[in-house]
């Protein structure tokens, strides 16, 4: 038993050390109407290097979730006067999926069905009180790890493997939402498709690997240009990129695209001791009416075709 306890202690030390080293402390919200019950949890969690926020009711819990956008785990009691933990769990789940927030129910109730009710309501886990500290700590650690894995999966699903930009899937997922936000606020928006000129020729002359290097260099340049902006940049596929400009009319977007065009024309990519450069053509379409997202992209694609037709290395809108 002594050995086992020591093993647990060692695991805990290692887990805490990892968290401190990774310089990212998980924030946990503890919801319980009884201050002394909160204190027990807070003590356990702080010993594990978690950052802890306390709430004495469901309403306080919601206020905390609004005030801190980095809460990863909610540990909630069940019996509370204004809102039960079960009800709180149901309400939280209307706004936060289990890939955003883990919820662990705790209760000293003797109702053995409570655990299942919590899990059905969307809780990620449940423990009856009094709990074994190590069990609670393990369950929290598991939930934190699951959340990290889900985040990684979501990031990977949104990412283009070659360039690290957002991919087509993410563009088509977020794009329509951004467009609808603009239209609802009667604000302008525009979408552009950027395509590298004569890229097949470059591949044929220098090989696919150098083609990839050039693609990455163009993508890096675009990423730098759009870093920190509200514009949504993605690689649609091949040598084509799409950019959504929320809150920007098409003439402003076209002007910006022309600066990007000349910026990329000046870009030099070193490949086999040779300095390569490429040009791009860009089609820009205005978003002004409730049409399908595909329609906006088709319009931008047609303008891109015009830019190619008129001689490439230009913007057409
Ligand atoms: P245009 O100026 O009309 O756009 O001519 P283009 O040659 O760029 O257009 P086309 O669509 O005919 O050819 C695009 C080429 O891009 C074909 C394909 O070999 C290449 N390509 C697509 N994806 C990749 C990639 O991931 N890496 C590399 N190296 N090449 C790619
Ligand atoms: Mg209570
Ligand atoms: Mg193309
Ligand atoms: Mg091309």
3-state DSSP assignment of residue 89: helix
Helix (H) or strand (E) holding 241: strand 240-246
In sequence order, the 6+-apart residues with CB closer than 8 A to the CB of 49 are 16, 19, 20, 25
Centre of ligand 3 to C-alpha 273, Å, is: 27
- Tokens 């201050």 found at: 35
Instruction: Choose, from 239, 240, 275, 286, the residue flagged as catalytic.
Output: 239
- Which ligand lies nearest to the CA atom of residue 30 in the structure? 2
- Residues in the chain predicted with pLDDT less than 50, given as ranges, are 1-6
Ligand 1 pocket test, candidate residues 194, 199, 202, 206, most atoms within 8 A of CB = 199
d(CA 114, CA 120): 10
Q: How high is the pLDDT of residue 290?
A: 83
Angle CA(265)–CA(269)–CA(273) in degrees, nearest 5?
135
Write out the two tokens for 144: 């934190």
Ligand nearest to the CA of 241: 3
By most ligand atoms within 8 Å of CB, the mutation choice from 163, 165, 195, 200 for ligand 1 is 200
Q: Which tokens hold the place of 113?
A: 């069905």
Is there a contact between 283 and 307 (Cβ–Cβ < 8 Å)? yes
Do strands 280-287 and 189-196 pair parallel, antiparallel, or not at all (unpaired)?
antiparallel
Question: What whole-number distance in Å separates Cα of residue 44 and Cα of residue 278?
Answer: 59
Taking CA atoms only, the protein residue closest to ligand 1 atom 13 is: 200
List phi, psi (to 5°) of 229. -90, 170
Cis peptide preceding 27, ω within 30 of 0: no
What is the reported pTM?
0.80
Question: Residue 212's pLDDT is what?
Answer: 96
Please work out whether the CB of residue 196 comes within 6 Å of at least one atom of ligand 1. Answer: yes
Ligand 1 atom having least distance to the Cα of 202: 7
Which pLDDT value is given to residue 177? Answer: 96
Ligand 2 centre distance from Cα of residue 78 (Å): 6
What is the Cα–Cα distance from 40 to 44, expressed in whole angstroms? 6
Question: Active site includes 239?
Answer: yes
Atom of ligand 1 nearest to the CA of 209: 29
Q: What pLDDT score was predicted for residue 241? A: 98
Spell out the alpha helix ranges (H) of the chain. Answer: 2-21, 35-47, 58-67, 85-95, 114-121, 133-158, 168-184, 199-206, 208-226, 250-265, 293-309
HEC states along 129-164? CCCCHHHHHHHHHHHHHHHHHHHHHHHHHHECCCCC
pLDDT of residue 271: 84
**How far is ligand 4, taken at its centre, from the CA of residue 196, in Å?**
4
Q: Are 48 and 15 in contact (CB under 8 A)?
A: yes
Q: What is the pLDDT of residue 50?
A: 95
**C-alpha 231: how far from its chain's center?**
15
Structure tokens at 172: 């088509």
């Amino acid at each position: 038993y002594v050995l086992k306890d020591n093993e647990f202690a060692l695991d805990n030390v290692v887990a805490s050390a990892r968290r401190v080293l990774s310089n990212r402390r998980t924030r946990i919200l503890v919801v319980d109407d009884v201050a002394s019950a909160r204190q027990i949890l807070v003590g356990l969690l702080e010993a594990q290097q978690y950052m802890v926020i306390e709430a004495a009711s469901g309403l306080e819990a919601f206020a905390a979730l609004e005030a801190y956008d980095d809460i990863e785990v909610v540990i909630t009691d069940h019996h509370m006067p204004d809102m039960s933990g079960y009800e709180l769990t149901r309400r939280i789940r209307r706004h936060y999926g289990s890939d955003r927030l883990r919820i662990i129910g705790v209760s000293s109730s003797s109702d053995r069905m409570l655990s299942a009710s919590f899990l059905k309501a969307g809780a990620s886990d449940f423990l009856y009180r009094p709990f074994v500290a190590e069990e609670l700590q393990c369950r929290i650690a598991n939930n934190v790890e699951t959340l990290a894995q889900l985040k990684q999966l979501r990031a990977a699903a949104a990412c283009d493997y070659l360039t690290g930009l957002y991919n087509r899937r993410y563009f088509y997922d977020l794009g329509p939402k951004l467009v609808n936000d603009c239209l609802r606020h009667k604000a302008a928006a525009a979408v552009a498709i950027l395509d590298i000129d004569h890229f097949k020729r470059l591949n044929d002359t220098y090989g696919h690997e150098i083609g990839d290097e050039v693609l990455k260099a163009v993508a890096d340049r675009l990423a730098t240009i759009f870093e920190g902006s509200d514009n949504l940049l993605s690689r649609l596929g091949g040598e084509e990129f799409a950019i959504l400009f929320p809150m920007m009319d098409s003439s402003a977007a076209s002007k910006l695209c022309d600066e990007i065009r000349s910026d990329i024309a000046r870009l030099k990519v070193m490949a086999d001791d040779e300095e390569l450069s490429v040009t791009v053509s860009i089609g820009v379409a205005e978003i002004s009416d409730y049409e399908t997202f595909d329609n906006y992209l088709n319009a931008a694609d047609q303008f891109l075709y015009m830019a190619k037709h008129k001689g490439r290395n230009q913007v057409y809108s």
